[in-house]
Structure formats: structure tokens, C-alpha cells
Homo-oligomer: A and B are copies of this chain.
């Protein structure tokens, strides 16, 4: 997906309707400047029911959160001993200091191998209804198991090898016992995933938009409100809804087909109905999580916004409209949870802990 897609002639669907068409906000001439357009913007709050304010954390009854589990999950999240060459942790590609991403098109894994898709942010990922770009994991716990064993990511040879590594580190054995009390053999790959999941469920980044959703009209600037209005007018919320403003599966190219080698969920399931189906990315912190799209091919957020309007809604956004939407997206940049970002002290290796394996 290169820039040529943006400039190829698009036969806008509305052109077919003729002069008697109902006036559409998208079609009316926009004011020349974003600032000019942003006078006295009033948002109809009923339209905001598509969204939800972020919870303080994303609970799941199947993995009750405890302080012990969160602390264990945090250590595991930062521990490079979960990778074959002990040079990669979850945090390598989903860096908590940089809004949960690495800001690369695709990430560098074991032996500098490049992954096929852009690393999605871990922040607010508990608000997705499905995980990975192709939705191949149902929840964070299931997701956590993937990259550790993926040969082009952390490349551990097997779940058993991961468990043996953890068991060789006495501090971890104690932490697993505390996190999963009453279990005869608490150090399992499933429990490791539960601990990481419990930690990730804490990673929410409330922003001014949440205050606005809560009723504080002044939490957004006039320009941001103008952008929100444009966002709603265009219909972006049909896919970017919920607490994460995204997170469900949708077809990329719903109205105007999107050409790409990566066919999304189809490449996983080989079902025709999954062709070009991808998980809708969260818009939380989207201004900070570029480059954008599943392949990280889009380096300007404004381009991403215009391409989405074109392929998902069959609309051509003006620069003014796109810039207003960018202003709104800025209001989704939230506060990082300071207590969780720094790398914690990790338990020291034992005599049997494997050494880094660069092969």
C-alpha cells in the first residue's frame, strides 16, 4: 500500500446521486483553516454513546487480578530470559515508555529477523474484543503465549523450555507460588500467560477525552471538538467504537477495496470471508504509535486518516477535515501509568538457568 493508492482517481459514490441529493457534511466546503472552523463547536452527546470511558483496568472473571499476579506479570513482561538469545522481552516491541510500541514499521526479533506486521500497542489492549492483527487470540492471556514461541520473535523452542527456564530461577518459583496459591505445580505456561495478562489489564491510559465523555465539556479544545464532530459526521465511529475506539474485526476496504499482499485473517484461516479482515486498531494514543496500518507502511497520520475515509467509507476528506480529525486524535493521547513503566528488579538466574542462544 503505497502513496499511489491515495492519489488514484476515486469515483466517490455520492457523485452518483445527482443534484437533488441531501446535503452531506462531507460534501460541503470546509472553512479554510482548522482554527476558523472551530468556533463554538457543540457536540451532540447522544452521539457519544458509541464510545466508553476507559475503566481503571480491564477485568476478566477468568483471570482475577491480584497484586502478586500483576507484579509477577510485570517482571515477566520485562524479562529477556523469555527469549532464545535473552535479548528480547515483551517490552522490546511493546515499549511501555513509548506508548506500548517500538515506532518501527515492523519489529526486529530473534537474529534481527523482521516480523510481518506492525507491533500493536499493549496499552488499552484489554479493551479489544480480539487480539493480534488477525484476531488469532481471544484475549490477552492467549496473546501472551504467542510471541515467546514465535521463531521470528522471541523464538523460544517450546513452552516446556520456557517453564524449565522459569523453574531454574528461584525468585520466580516463589512469585508463581504466591500468585497462584493452592496450586501443586504453579509454574506453568498457562499461569505465565495469566500473570502477563493480569499485568497488561492494568495498562490503561485515560486522556482528556475520558473527562469529556464523563461530562466535562471543557476537557476538549474547540479545535478538538471540531475534529470529533467531523469524525462523527464521517462515520468513523462505525468501526472505532468502545473504550479503545477500536478492537473488533472488520474488513479493510469495506467500501473501496484495499490492495495489499497481506490478506489479513484470510492468511490464517484460508476462508474467503476472512479476506482482508483485520482487527480495527485502537485510536487511543494513535498520534504516538506510528507508523500506521498493519504493515507500518503509512508514515503520516493524516494520510492514514484519509485512506481510512476512502476505503472504509468511500469518502474523500479535505485537508481541513483531516487536520481537524488529527486534532481530535491528539485528545486521545493519555497518561501513561507511571508506576508500571520502569523495568522492575528481576530475580537472579540460578545455576541451571539456560545461557543466551544466538543460533
Contact = CB atoms under 8 A, between A and B. Distances in A.
A16 B256 CA distance: 8
A251 interface: yes
A259 interface: yes
B232 A273 contact: yes
A44 B241 contact: no
Contacts of A129: 49-50
A121 to B, nearest CB: 19
Contacts of A44: 265, 269, 271, 273-274, 277
Contact of A13 (B50, B235, B248, B256): B256
Given A16-B11, A130-B49, A273 B233 contact: yes
Interface string A1-26: 00000000111111111001111110
A22 B256 CA distance: 10
A299 interface: no
A50 B248 CA distance: 6
Contacts of A11: 11, 13, 15-16
A14 B256 contact: yes
Contacts of A233: 251, 273
A233 B17 CA distance: 25
A46 interface: yes
A258 interface: yes
Contacts of A255: 13-14, 255, 313-315
A284 interface: no
Interface string A267-311: 001011111110000000000000000000000000000000000
A130 to B, nearest CB: 5
Nearest to A277: B47
A96 B274 CA distance: 39
Contacts of A271: 42, 44
A252 to B, nearest CB: 10
A129 B249 CA distance: 21
A130 B46 CA distance: 7
B248 A49 contact: yes
A248 B23 CA distance: 22
A169 interface: no
B130 A21 contact: no
B277 A25 contact: no
A249 B16 contact: no
Contacts of A47: 249, 273-274, 277
Interface string A76-91: 0000000000000000
Nearest to A274: B44
A318 to B, nearest CB: 16
A330 B287 CA distance: 43
Contacts of A241: 248
24 contacts: A10-B13, A10-B16, A12-B13, A13-B256, A16-B256, A17-B259, A22-B257, A22-B259, A24-B257, A42-B271, A43-B273, A44-B265, A44-B271, A44-B273, A46-B135, A46-B136, A46-B249, A46-B265, A49-B249, A50-B129, A50-B248, A235-B254, A255-B314, A255-B315
Given A24-B257, A46-B136, 11 more contacts: A13-B256, A14-B255, A17-B256, A21-B257, A43-B273, A44-B273, A44-B274, A49-B129, A238-B250, A241-B248, A255-B315
